[in-house]
Copies of this chain bind each other. A is one copy, B any other.
């Protein structure tokens, strides 16, 4: 069977070497990578991959958000199958987040070439611009603009910390790669599969090498603002105090309890950012703000939490501020079945899990049938120079991707 043949043609050394090579663009002294979207190091990394794609016989296209598309033609005039991820990194990023998915896509292109395979459908490997959102906010700009091009009008004026607009950064990218043809805007893909590191501990914890990702959790971000009264730590009797931190902690504990009650084992709730006024050792806190990041795969749980959060804030006399919301994404059943089949064919055990992190596939899912594969992250660590995955797992993930993409390309 051709899918198994392509999976077997995946070359471990070539894959691992490509990961190390890409990591030289923006390499940090500590083994990590610092490669902001559309910066000089990103441009050089893109140049390296464009050259490599051309050497593999692929055409290279670009779109309005500098997403790059490396296309291996198929035998029929059909919609392409897509894969890919991003190559921008966090400032203290690792070698794998995003890059692994792009380079595994390249490895599939190479494996298809090695096997002299001709698929029915074209295969496209994409690099989505500015997924991390570290240089320009929000993240996943490239993939969200790809599926909804009208977003570009809003994104164009977004500025980085040096006041450079996205628009100027895109001009710079155009000048770096003059003459790159534009991708046909309205060519809908047949399917999209993104391979990624888990960035969490579940696979490692279960001792399982691959995950079939059912979907992406929805998220609600809020800030809570609690008012107290500043007063002298020595002179104010306890019963007369209005300590904003005491009030904030009571609010946090109640929000935490309701998040667990509503969401059960699927709840992810984090109170990550705190601001305390006046933040003085001998003054009772007068004002506290804190954030909550609540994630869950079930939209009705997110909506119920939203109601409770407002009620709890009101009961505590706190101000609630909704900062961000994203609905849960359920990936396509037929794509997931195809991933399952690939893993079975390779005798790889799998977990089915829901991604807690956002990925470009979150937006692609609104464009075409999509799915994701995860490989384990050692100690669950990501966004960190220590980010790592066993070589065997990296190769197995790429083989599963090759199997699945080949199957989809021959649909």
Question: Chain B nearest CB: distance from A334 CB in Å?
Answer: 26
A159 CB-CB contact with B under 8 Å = no
Expressed in whole angstroms, the Cα–Cα distance for A270 and B285 within the complex equals 9
> Assuming A201-B240, A221-B281, is B276 touching A234 (CB within 8 A)?
no
A407 CB-CB contact with B under 8 Å = no
- Nearest chain-B residue to A253 (Cβ)? B249
Chain B residues with CB under 8 A of A279: 272-274
A232 CB-CB contact with B under 8 Å = yes
Question: Does A380 contact B231, Cβ atoms closer than 8 Å?
Answer: yes
A165 CB-CB contact with B under 8 Å = no
Q: Which of A219, A234, A285, A323 has the most CB of B within 10 A?
A: A234
Question: Chain B nearest CB: distance from A89 CB in Å?
Answer: 15
Residues of A192-214 whose CB lies within 8 A of B: 198-202, 205
Expressed in whole angstroms, the Cα–Cα distance for A232 and B276 within the complex equals 23
Question: Does B200 contact A237, Cβ atoms closer than 8 Å?
Answer: yes
Q: How many A residues face the partner with a CB closer than 8 A?
A: 53
Chain B residues with CB under 8 A of A358: 234
- Nearest chain-B residue to A239 (Cβ)? B265
A355 CB-CB contact with B under 8 Å = yes
> Assuming A231-B380, A282-B293, A293-B282, is B323 touching A268 (CB within 8 A)?
no
- Nearest chain-B residue to A259 (Cβ)? B238
Question: Does A295 contact B198, Cβ atoms closer than 8 Å?
Answer: no
Expressed in whole angstroms, the Cα–Cα distance for A352 and B285 within the complex equals 28
Chain B residues with CB under 8 A of A380: 231, 235-236, 240
A356 CB-CB contact with B under 8 Å = yes
Instruction: Annotate A70-105 by CB proximity to B: 1 below 8 A, 0 otherwise.
Output: 000000000000000000000000000000000000
For A293, give its contact among B233, B237, B273, B356 (CB under 8 Å).
Answer: B233
Question: Does A200 contact B235, Cβ atoms closer than 8 Å?
Answer: yes
Question: Does B295 contact A272, Cβ atoms closer than 8 Å?
Answer: no
Question: Does A268 contact B201, Cβ atoms closer than 8 Å?
Answer: no
Question: Chain B nearest CB: distance from A396 CB in Å?
Answer: 20
A28 CB-CB contact with B under 8 Å = no
Chain B residues with CB under 8 A of A129: none
Expressed in whole angstroms, the Cα–Cα distance for A291 and B267 within the complex equals 31
Chain B residues with CB under 8 A of A233: 268, 270, 272, 293, 295, 356
A sample of 19 more A-B contacts (CB under 8 A), given A234-B268, A249-B249, is A200-B236, A232-B357, A233-B268, A233-B270, A235-B268, A235-B357, A235-B382, A236-B268, A237-B265, A238-B260, A238-B267, A238-B268, A238-B269, A270-B282, A270-B283, A271-B285, A272-B279, A273-B276, A273-B279
